[in-house]
Structures are given as structure tokens and as C-alpha cells.
Structure 1
Amino acid sequence: MRFSAIACSALLGLIHASPLAGNSLDARAATFTNPVLWEDYPDLEVIRIGDVFYYSSSTFAFSPGAPVLKSYDLVNWTPVSHSVPTLNFGSKYNLTSATDRAYVQGIWASSLRYRESTDTFMWIGCVESSKSYLWTASGTGAKSNNGEVANWDWKATASVNKCYYDCGLLVDDDDTIYVAYGSTNIMVAQLNKDGTAEVKSQQVYTDGTYIEGSRMYKINGYYYIFVTKPATDEWVLKSKSPWGPYEMKVLVQSIAGPLANAGASHQGGIVGTKDNNWYYVAFMDSFPGGRIPVVAPITWSSDGWPSLVKDSSGAWGKTYPFPVSTSKTVPPPTGTDNFQGTSLSHEWEWNHNPDTTKFKLLGGSTGGLQLSTATVTDDLYTARNTLTHRIIGPKSSGTFRIDISKMADGDRTGAALFRDNMAYIGIHREGTTDKLVYVNNLSIDLNNSWKTNATGTVAASTTLSAGTTEVWLKVQADITPAFNTATQRTTTFWYSTDGSKFTQLGSAFKMTNDWHFFTGFRYAVFNFATKALGGVVQVKSFAMEKVA
């Protein structure tokens, strides 16, 4: 269960949290349990419009980028959009060759804000330390509909030949747009009325310590910039002017909890409820699963400094009273996607920008996603149109149902555990024979600009019976945190030809806890050619389920 039934009695006087009605995820318990979402959503920013909270995150070279999640209670979240539908940062983001790729580049810590005066969501982020990009979604209806968005229509609005590194936007009370940014030396820039160019910029804080991850706010007449001292602390800068001078106090410092073998909760943002209760939403380094969000209430001193509400041992609480009393719900992260409708759900992200001519949703009552081969290669890291999905922790499975009847000689399709070192279970078509294979030890090299280091080894195989047209391929992953330990969590790979009886193929794959790739392991489905384009598979469904 995501939520604990044990109340934090010391906090009940601080935050009103009555039992809530009708949510299949948590039965609307009086308390919630951290982490609130056991998925990889790092470098976050959280805002509220009316009754709706929105959450933005970094995505590096995955496309579409900068996912937007929504919640009514700060605990249950679902993806609803992407601020950057296409990575418009250069050719390397299209993955058209093995020597022109964008692994561990792209969207790092960025910022999402809402400008009420124009009913516009604004996203801004620095890419490759050289240029900042602005995407906007106007006419959303959020202002007139209590925060609900009727239409996301993101447009590439501008780019600035300056890096607003790890930036945080602020739309001030008078509609002036500021952006806080930088590392060690924290800067503030004022943008023009459209946010498309810089008016002025100046340094507002430094003490020689490396800090980053700026988030900027105006609360009760004070300007705040929240910054991170990686990868353990969160500092608060406070001033009466956006230009300073700023005072500094520490919000959290190497705080313990709420999960064992995970990093300290840090880097994120604060958000207030309609009842003016405030929360700090941060992430924990929780590899092999990535960086996952946690929530804790904050209180304010009479002179405007925030303090985190901790548990009785001085740690980040495992449980807290529910932040918002509401009957509104969002879909759970688990379940089955039959790929119906006219577009992919926002749970999905391609490895780099896809070739849009090589996939389509089939529509109709049964749905399905058609993947035509888009690349001739023997390297999965160079294959276009690999579709990825975050793994939910601590243990889960992702199962793809795939029609392989239209594969061509030399084609490779399958289900992967995707990261900088990975493995997959799949079909290698050789002539008219379908070999079911478990391939491990695929890797790209941190020390060589993320070039492919190994294309994998067939560690186990069997031959499918002639006439087999469908396979179910399951990846079962344990992403229980093992950060900064020698423990290696494992993933197993399974197959079925009837969707009911599954057989494991090969031995368990040991995952790395290294953080340098920044994202956690993902489920993925792929289809590429080694001889010639033309083969097709149909992904009929994907099911993600928690595993005991």
C-alpha cells in the first residue's frame, strides 16, 4: 500500500486532514506515506492553480520532454502533458547516427510557471550550458476553470543565447517575469513582458559554496530563492527585493529518511494549499530506480523563515497527515495501456525524438501501436523509436504483448530494461525462424562521451514454434533503493505465448546503483532492423503491476 494507516499525532494540530472519500489507491486514509510517487521524476518544480497542483521534471534526451503531472492532494499524481513536445535543440536529439546522439544532455533542471494575466503556462530550461529555450501553452482555460486545463497546446516561443542554468521562474504580483539561475554564484534576470528576452541580470548571492537548483517565490512581501547544495542540503535565500541583498538559512542538511539506502531528501520546491498550509516537495537519490519525490509540511516563523516538520527522531517523516481534503482523484500509475485513442498517453517517452513516419496508433476498439523498423543497426542505443516507461517501485513488472507476424529477416524486437547498462528479452528473426533471446551486457561509456561500449551478448535462447504470431514479454524489476551500497538489485525476464503461463529466460540481471546517467532504469519496447527496413510489429498492450 502507498499510504500508512498510522497517524502522526504530533502533526494533527498543524494540518487538518480528515478521512477522504472514494479513492481506490489509498481509500482516502488520514495519512500518506513517503515516497508519494515511486517513479523517477527528478529536478522537480510544483505549482498550484486553483484546486490543481502541477509538477514538472527533467527528462534529458527522452522525448517528449519536461513532463507535467497533476494532483489534487500533493500525493496522488498522474502525467497529463509534456512542456516540450519535440526536443528542438539540434540534430543529435533525432538519433539519426551512432556518432550524433544526446545521451545525458537535453532537459536538466528547468522551470514551469503559470501566468494568470494571459492564461499561459511557461516552461524555460537551459540546454547544453549554452542556450535557454522557452515553450508556452496559452488558452488553457486554467484561470477560469479552477486550475483545470482544457487544452495543452505547447509552442516553441523563443530561445535566448544564454544559459539560465538550473533556473526558477517567478511571475511577480505586477506581472514582471524574473528567473533565478546559476551555480555557486546565484543570479537573477528580469525578462521582457513576453519572457522572450532579457532586460537585465545581476548576481544576488554567493559565499563560495557550490549551490544550484534555483526556485524563486514571492510570499508575503519577501522574495525567496531555494537552492540546493548537492546532493544533500537545501538552502533558503530571503530578501525584500528580487535583486537582494539575500540572507541565507538552511532548510534541510543531510536529513535522514524516509527510505533506507537512499540519499537525503533535497532539491525541489515549495507550494501552498488553498488553506495556506505549505509543503516542501523534494527528491531522494534512490538508484537503481532514479530520483523519486517525497513531501513534508513546512511552517513559517514570524520573520518569514520556513522550517521543515520532522518526525520525532529529527528525520524526514515516513508518514504525515494528508495535505488536502478532496474527493477528486487521478488514475493510478499501474494498469494496462491498450494504446487506444489518437496519441500516446503522457506516461510514455521515446529514446530521443522519434521518426513519426515509423509508428502509428491503430485506433478502433482494440487499439494497438504499430512500430515499423526505423533504423538499420546492431546497436539498440542507436535504434530510433525505442519507447520507454518509468518503473514503479519498489518492485513491479512491465509486460508487453507483441504481434510479431510481420517481422522481416534480421529484425530485432523486444522488451528492455533500459539504461546505460541494460538487458532485454526479445525476438531475433533469422530467415523464417524466430529465436527468443535474453541479451545482457549492453552498455554505453560514461568515460567516452556515452558512446556504445557493448551491443550485448545472447546469454540464453530458445526457438519459438513455427506459426507463433504473438508473444508476451515481461520485465520484472526490483528497484528498492541500494544507493551508496554494494548491493545490486536484480531484474528477471519472462515470456509467454498465451498471456497466462510465463517462463523465465536466462539468469537475473544485476542493476547498477551509479547515478551518472541521472535517470533510473526504465521499461522499454523496441523494433529495429539489422538488414533492411520494412518489418513491422504491433504492440497490443502494456501492463505494469506491483509485485510483492
Structure 2
Amino acid sequence: MLCATCNVQAQKIQENMIDNPMLWADVPDPDIIRVGDTFYLVSTTMHLMPGAPIMQSKDLKNWETVGYIFDKLTDSPKYDLSPTEGTVYGRGQWATSLKYHKGKFYALLAPNERGSMGDTYIFTADKAAGPWKIVSRMRHFHDCSLFFDDDDRVYVIYGTGEMMELKPDLSDVIEGTHRQIFEREADETGLLEGSRMIKHNGKYYLLMISHVYAPGRHRREVCYRADNIQGPYEKATILESDFGGFSYEAQGTIVDTQDGDWYGIIFQDRAGVGRVLTVMPCRWIDGWPMLGDEEGKVPARVRALKSGEPTKSIVNADDFSSPKLCLHWQWNHNPVDNAWSLTERPGYLRLKTSRVVPNLYLAPNTLTQRMEGPKCTGAIALDLSKMKDGDVAGLAAFNDNSTVLAVKKSGKQLTLELSEQSVKLSMREKKVENVDEKIVERIALKTNKIWLRIDANFVPRTDIANFSYSLDGENWTQLGGDFRMTFDWQRFFMGTKFGIFNYATKKAGGYVDIDAFTYNKHQ
């Protein structure tokens, strides 16, 4: 039997553990660096704005969003949800590379687009929280890694083992420097992606995801190692592990601590919630950064780096008392800036209709926030008194397949409607070609204030959302039953989000006021 003191110590150790997934939310394509005692993480958010979120942590357990690399992308009307030109659903910013060099932060990203929309951006900032400014734009590099060598030469590693050197001022590539630094194996019929280059003890290490479709082989994280950045490179598989009843993990990077320990941060596909992040030990064995526990598996728990850090999260409640939008929110595509406000009615988020649209998928100023596993609940309180005929406002489990709880105004009548909606997008331009809508339940309303709630369950193999409403904020009535949340890489390529919306189908000019967004994460 443990003594009382030992029991207390054991409890503290338990409390200071990181349960995997480290971030049970949609945080794909990670890059992570450490500057001093702080870790900085960047992820893909594609069509959400502002984009390329920067998150920070002191202990790899408690993360908060501290800034974004850009507020908007403006190369095309597609970023504004154009009904004629198309959208950027599942496109936009991908797989940003984050670096720190000689006192400055650098980020390199390339939208997954054709032509000039897909040009690579390089940004820089004095602080990770920003402000960030554009250094240059150049040709497209897929899933690339920026790398500053010890001699100050700069490289971009991209695609399946391609590399080019950049000019010292980062203004463009140096022509003639293209090099194929390795050739993939015969059974690697898929691309090798997610390049992340680091240097350790004088050697160069390129981490990548390998898609192997041969019998008995799985998705895996591989590493290419060389004494010279130009090669030759040798290869090892550093992680080939499933976890938690889901698929095999791959794509991410490694990072060291101030004490010289190393960790791997790798993402895993988890259906409706999206692509989640796991943390694991990285052990240097024979000069290779081997990931996972002693058996090479993703562990269920990892000890946090330090105790006593305040609890922080990238998903949060909001009473909208700040005059600025909190950083845990992102808009679906570029917002219409004059069609929302936190100051016109202090303590409320006002969403105005700015143009007439046919459906939710073309509606500007839909405000989103991630959902989290294993379970979470989000709710809003809506003042409906200024809606106009044809307006639609509410709360959605927002994705390419959405379940939508909406208040609709027809003439002077308000109706609460629960529906399942699925968008069809053109393959190339991502135009909204059709929205298939199935009405599940509809009730008449006789009030101008209503509370709407979503309960989401991402316990493995569940992915269910339930919808409720209240007329007083205390007593809730469920509508419908269990609604499946899905993940489709060919459309949104993103986990399901809470979506707060208000759009006009007949005439612009109405608005709704959101009193608060309440949020709780559950086990």
C-alpha cells in the first residue's frame, strides 16, 4: 500500500500527464518549433480566415492560439465565396513551414491552387503572435519545408524529395539549383509528402509521410538522413503505428526541449472531428529519430514537460465582451468586415446580412470554431428581433455534410427548422453546384430570443451530433435524433466545426445579435 505522501505524488504525476490525442481537434499538417522555453505550432486551416494559426505552449499540454500569419487571402473572388468563380473549400493555405532564424520568425506556405493563386508565400515576424508581413512570393512548392542552414544558405524542400536553394534575401529561388535528393521505393506508389527538414549533430534529417499500398504495409513516417544537404540520403521508417482504434499515423515533425529531450508531434485521421495531434517520445537510436514508446507504438499518455502551467485551450467559450474578435474564432472564407460588429451592441456579436445568397455554403460571415473530442457541447443565445423576411440564422455542425439548426423568417413568422444539408462542389473550381437539403423537423416560434445547442460525441467510432433548443436558457428540447458527422477529403478536407450564421435569401440589411457562445468539453 502506498503511503499518503506517495499517493499525493502519484496523483500529481497523473495530473501532469498528456492524454493522447494531445489536441483532440482538427489540427492537421503540423509544424512545431521551440524558441527558449516556448513551443510554437502552426497548422492548416484552408478556407478559414484568418489563416495559418500560431499556437503556443510551455508544456506541450496546454495550447492557446496567439495569432495568425494572415488575415485574408485576396488573389481571387473565390476567397469571398463567389457563386460564379467558385470557392476555396478544401484549398487555401496548406502545410505551413515554421522556422526561427537569427531573432526572427519565418513561415512558408503555398495554397493548394492552380496558377498564381498557388504561388508560395514567405512571411516574417519579430514575434510569433505577429504582425506578420510578406517577404516574397514565388512558384508553387507542395507540402514544403523552409530550412536555414548553419552557413545561412536557405533551402526549400518540397514534393517527393525535391529541393531548391533560395536567394539570401528570400526574394526567389536561385535558378539551376533544383535537385532530386532521393528516389522513392518501388512500392511507394503514393506521394511522399509533408516535408520537415531539421539538422541535428551535423546531420540533415528530412521527415515525410509515406503512403504504401503494398500488402501488409501501412501509412508511416519515414526519415531521410545525410551528412550533406545535397545527399546522398539513406532512409529509415521511424513510425509505423496505429492508435486508439484508428488508422496508422504519419505526417508531423520532431522538436527538442531545453533539457535536450525530443518529442514527435504526428497527426492522425479521426473521421468527423478531423485530423488530431498526438505527442510521443523521440529517441535517437543509431542516429535515427525513432518515434513512439519502446515498442514503437503511439503511447496513450506522455508526461508533460512541467507542472503548474495554467489550463489553456484552442477552443473556448466567449461572452463577446471584447471589442475584438477572440483568436479561437475563424470565418468561413473572407469575412465582409462591415457586416459584423462587437461594438454596436457591447457584449453581443452582431451578424448582419450583406448580400442575398441561396444557401449556407455561399453565406458570408459564418463564424466557426473547432469541435473537440471525446465529447463537447456548444450553445448560443440569439436575439431574432431584427431579422428580415427571408433571413436564416442559427447554429450548425458545419462541414460538407452539415446538420443545421436554423431560425427562418417568412413574412412576420419565425420558424425553427432542423435539416441535413450536403453540398456538391465542382472538382476544379469548387463551385457550389447544388445543396441537397432534407428537413427533419420544423416548429413555429412565438419569441424573439432563442437558445440553440449542439452536443457532439467523438468517442471512437461514434461521431454523432445532437441538437436542442431552449426558450429560457435552462430547459432544453431535443430535435431529431443522432446525426452523423463525416470527413470528406475531396470537399472540405476538414473536421466538423461549430458554425454560427446569418444570411439573407431575399433582401440584405437584417441582423441577429448573439449574446454568448457557451462551451464545455466532456469525457
Shorter-chain TM-score above 0.5? yes
| Structure 1 counterpart of 2:449, from 452, 467, 470 | 470
The alignment status of 1:84 with 2:65, answered yes or no, reads: no
Q: Do residues 442 (structure 1) and 422 (structure 2) align?
A: yes
Q: Which residue of 1 aligns with 2:134?
A: 156
With over 3 angstroms needed to count, the CA separation of the structure-2 counterparts of 1:135 and 1:64, relative to structure 1, is: farther
Distance in 2, matches of 1:541 and 1:292, equals: 27
Q: Letter of the 1:284 partner, please give it.
A: Q
Report the Cα distance in structure 1 between the residues aligned to 2:114 and 2:197, rounded to whole angstroms: 20
Quickly say closer, same or farther: Cα 1:195–1:342, change in 2 above 3 A.
farther
Q: For 1:123, which of 91, 99, 108 is the aligned residue? A: 108
Greater shift, 129-138 or 428-437, is seen at: 129-138
Does the Cα contact within 8 Å between 2:124 and 2:135 map onto a contact in 1? no
Which structure 2 residues correspond to residues 248-259 of structure 1 after superposition, within 5 A?
248-253=235-240, 255-257=241-243, 259=244
Cα distance in 2, alignment partners of residues 124 and 514 from structure 1 = 23
The answer on 1:400 being equivalent to 2:377 is no
In structure 2, the CA distance between the partners of 1:334 and 1:88, relative to structure 1 (3 Å rule), is closer
Partners of 1:348 and 1:492 in 2: CA distance: 22
Q: 2:148 aligns with which of 171, 192, 197?
A: 171
Structure 1 residues 339 and 176: CA distance shift in structure 2, 3 A = farther
1:217 deviates by: 0.6
What number of residue pairs does the alignment pair up?
499
1:430 aligned partner, one-letter code: S
Q: 1:258-288, CA deviations, whole angstroms, 9 ceiling, x for partnerless residues?
A: x12x221210000000011001100111001
Shift of 1:30: 4.1
Q: Paired residue for 1:321, among 292, 299, 303?
A: 303
CA contact (8 A) 1:129 1:165 kept: no
Stretch moving more, 330-339 or 346-355: 330-339
Q: Secondary structure at the match of 2:78?
A: helix
Give me the identity figure in percent: 33
Aligned to 1:36: 22
- Partners of 1:87 and 1:330 lie apart in 2 by 33
The one of 102, 106, 110 aligned to 2:88: 102
Partner secondary structure for residue 100 of structure 1? coil
**Gaps (5+ residues) in structure 2?**
1-8, 212-217
2:349 to 364, 369, 389: 369
Rounded to whole Å, the distance in 2 between the matches of 1:494 and 1:436 is 11
**Contact 1:405/1:537 (8 A) holds in 2:** yes
Judged with a 3 Å threshold, the aligned counterparts in structure 2 of structure 1 residues 512 and 335 are, in CA distance, closer, same or farther, namely: closer
> Does residue 471 of structure 2 align to residue 497 of structure 1?
yes
Give distance in 2, aligned partners of 1:327 and 1:89. Answer: 45
Instruction: Map 1:29-428; keep pairs closer than 5 Å.
Output: 29-97=15-83, 99-117=85-103, 119-128=104-113, 130=115, 131-140=118-127, 152-160=130-138, 162-183=139-160, 186-199=161-174, 200-208=177-185, 209=188, 210-230=191-211, 232-253=219-240, 255-257=241-243, 259-260=244-245, 262-302=246-286, 304-310=287-293, 314-322=296-304, 324-329=305-310, 331-333=312-314, 335-362=316-343, 367-428=347-408
| Counterpart check, 1:538 vs 2:506 | no
Write the distance in 1 (CA, Å) between the matches of 2:46 and 2:23.
20
Question: What's the offset of the Cα at 1:363?
Answer: 7.3
Letter in 2 for 1:537: V
Distance 1:92 1:335 in 2: 29
Change (3 A) 1:495 1:289: same
Residue pair 2:404, 2:421 contacting (<8 A) in 1 also: no
Distance 1:126 1:179 in 2: 15
* C-alpha distance after superposition, 1:283-338 (max 9, x if no partner): 11100111000011111134x211124255x521111222x125333523555201
- The alignment yields a C-alpha RMSD, in angstroms, of 2.3
Distance in 1, matches of 2:64 and 2:494, equals: 19
Shift of 1:46: 0.7
Partner of 1:145: none
Residues 19 and 300 in structure 2, CA contact (< 8 A), matched pair in contact too? yes
1:101 Cα offset (Å):
1.2
Q: In the aligned structure 2, how far is the partner of 1:282 from the partner of 1:195?
A: 29
Name the SS of the counterpart of 1:545 in structure 2.
Answer: strand
For structure 1, the residue ranges without an aligned partner over 5 or more in a row are 1-17, 22-26, 141-148, 483-487
TM-score, normalised via structure 1 length: 0.86
Aligned amino acid, residue 284 of structure 2: W
CA distance 1:310–1:132, shift in 2 (3 Å): same
Contact kept, 8 Å, 1:126 with 1:166, in 2: the verdict is no
What is the Cα deviation at residue 66 of structure 1?
1.1
Q: Distance in 2 between matches of 1:43 and 1:414?
A: 31
Q: SS in structure 2 opposite 1:39? A: coil
Contact (CA 8 Å) 1:136, 1:155: kept in 2 or not?
A: yes
CA distance, structure 2, for counterparts of residue 245 and residue 422 of structure 1: 49
The answer (yes or no) to whether the contact 2:38–2:58 under 8 Å persists in 1 is yes
Give CA-to-partner distance per residue, 1:94-113, whole Å, 9 cap, x none: 11325521111111222111
Letter in 2 for 1:71: S
More displaced 10-residue stretch of structure 1: 55-64 or 123-132:
123-132
1:520 maps to amino acid? G
Letter in 1 for 2:353: T
Length-normalised TM-score, structure 2: 0.90
**Partner-residue secondary structure (3-state), 2:338:** helix
Contact 2:375–2:456 (Cα < 8 Å) also in 1: yes
Q: Is residue 233–residue 266 contact of structure 1 (8 Å, CA) maintained in 2?
A: yes
For 2:48, give the aligned amino acid: F
Matched AA of 1:270: I
Closer, same or farther: CA 114–511 of 1 in aligned 2, 3 Å: same
The letter for the 2-side match of 1:55 is L
Counterpart of 2:46 in 1: which secondary structure?
Answer: coil
Give the letter for the 2:43 counterpart. Answer: S
